[in-house]
Structure 1
Amino acid sequence: MKTKPGARNLITDVAGLRVGNAGDMRLRSGVTVLVADAPFTAGVHVMGGAPGTRETDLLAADRVIEQVDALVLSGGSAFGLDAASGVADGLRAAGRGFAVGDVRVPIVPGAILFDLLNGGDKDWVENPYNGLGRAALAAAAEDFGIGTEGAGTGAGTANLKGGLGSASVVLPSGVTVGALVAVNALGSATVGSGPEFWAAPFEMGDEYGGRGVARDYPDPMLAPTKLAQHGNTTIGIVATDARLTQAQCTRLATAAHDGFARALMPSHTLMDGDLVFAAATGARPAPDLADQVLLGHAAACVMARAIARAVHAATPLAGDLLPCWQARFGAADS
Structure 2
Amino acid sequence: MGVVFKPGLRNLITDVAGLSVGSAQDYFIKTGSTVLVGNAPFTASVHVMGGAPGTKETDLLAPDKTVDQIDALVLSGGSAFGLDACSGVMDGLRKMGRGFPVGPMRVPVVPGAIIFDLINGGKKDWVENPYRELGRKALENVSLDFELGTAGAGVGALAAMQKGGLGSASVILENGYTIGALVVANPIGSVTSSSGKHFWAAPFELFDEFGGMGTDPETTNFSFKQSPKEMAMMISNVEMSNTTIAIVATDAPLSKTQCHRLAVTAHDGIARAIVPSHMPLDGDLIFGISTTRGVVDHNVFRDLSIAAASCLSRAIARGVYEATPQNGDILPTYKSSQIKTT
Q: TM-score range by the shorter chain?
A: over 0.9
After TM superposition, the structure 1 = structure 2 runs for residues 175-324 of structure 1, keeping only pairs within 5 Å, are 175-217=177-219, 219-222=221-224, 224-225=226-227, 226-228=229-231, 229=233, 230-282=240-292, 286-324=295-333
**What does residue 160 of structure 2 align with?**
158
2:217 partner SS: coil
- Relative to structure 1, the CA distance from residue 330 to residue 276 in structure 2 (aligned partners, 3 Å threshold; closer, same or farther) is farther
Partners of 2:68 and 2:260 lie apart in 1 by: 12
Residue 113 of structure 2 aligns to a residue whose secondary structure is strand
Q: What CA distance in whole angstroms lies between the structure 1 residues aligned with 2:46 and 2:72? A: 13
Q: Indicate conservation of the 8 Å contact 1:116/1:231, yes or no.
A: no
TM-score by length of 1: 0.96
8 Å Cα contact 1:117-1:231 kept in structure 2: no
Task: In structure 1, give the amino acid aligned to 2:307.
Answer: A
- RMSD over aligned CA atoms reads 1.6
Give unpaired runs (5+ residues) of structure 2: 234-239
Q: Is the 8 A contact 1:192 1:218 kept in 2?
A: no
Q: Which amino acid aligns with 2:321?
A: H
Aligned 1:6-25 pairs, distance under 5 A: 6-25=8-27
Aligned equivalent of 1:95, options 75, 94, 97: 97
Secondary structure in 2 matching 1:220 = coil
1:120 and 1:168 mapped to 2: Cα distance? 32
Distance 1:194 1:79 in 2: 32
Segment drifting more, 287-296 vs 260-269: 287-296
The alpha-carbon deviation at position 326 of structure 1 amounts to 1.2
Deviation at 1:331, TM superposition (A): 9.0
1:326 paired residue number: 335
Q: Is the 8 A contact 1:223 1:265 kept in 2?
A: no
Give how far 1:221 is off: 4.1
Q: Which letter maps to 1:326? A: K
Q: Give the structure 1 partner of residue 170 of structure 2.
A: 168
Unpaired runs of at least 5, structure 1:
none
Q: Distance in 2 between matches of 1:123 and 1:324?
A: 25
Aligned pair in 2 of structure 1 residues 11, 224: CA closer, same or farther (>3 Å)? Answer: farther
Q: 1:187, 1:224 within 8 Å by CA — same for their partners in 2?
A: no
Instruction: Give the deviation of 1:219 after TM superposition.
Output: 3.8
The answer to whether the 8 A contact 1:153-1:163 is kept is yes
User: What secondary structure, in the 3-state scheme, does the structure 1 residue paired with 2:123 have?
Assistant: coil
- For 1:260, what is the secondary structure of its paired residue? helix
2:278, 2:176 → 1: CA distance?
A: 32
How do 1:40-189 residues align onto structure 2 when only pairs under 5 Å count? 40-189=42-191
Residue 308 of structure 2 aligns to which amino acid in structure 1? Answer: A
Q: CA shift at 1:227, angstroms?
A: 4.0
Tell me, yes or no, if the aligned pair for 1:187 and 1:223 is still in contact at 8 Å.
no
User: Match for residue 3 of structure 1?
Assistant: 5
Q: Deviations over 1:204-254 (max 9, x none)?
A: 010000111111116424355544522311100000001111110000001
1:33 counterpart = 2:20: no
User: Higher mean Cα deviation, 163-172 or 312-321?
Assistant: 312-321
Partners of 1:204 and 1:308 in 2: CA distance = 11
**The residue matched to 1:222 in structure 2 has which SS?**
coil
Aligned length: 332
For the residues of structure 1 that align with 2:225 and 2:54, how far apart are their CA atoms?
Answer: 25
TM score, norm. by length of structure 2: 0.94
**Deviant stretches of 4+, over 4 Å:** 330-333
Kept in 1, the 8 Å contact 2:148–2:166? The answer is yes
Identity rate of aligned residues, in percent? Answer: 59
Contact 2:150 2:165 in 1 (8 A): yes
SS at match of 1:165: strand
Q: Pick closer, same or farther for the CA change 1:154–1:218 going to 2, 3 Å.
A: farther
Q: Which residue identity is paired with 1:242? A: A
Deviation at 1:62, TM superposition (A): 1.2
Q: Is the 8 A contact 2:161 2:196 kept in 1?
A: no
* Distance (Å, rounded) in 1 between the aligned partners of 2:140 and 2:213: 37
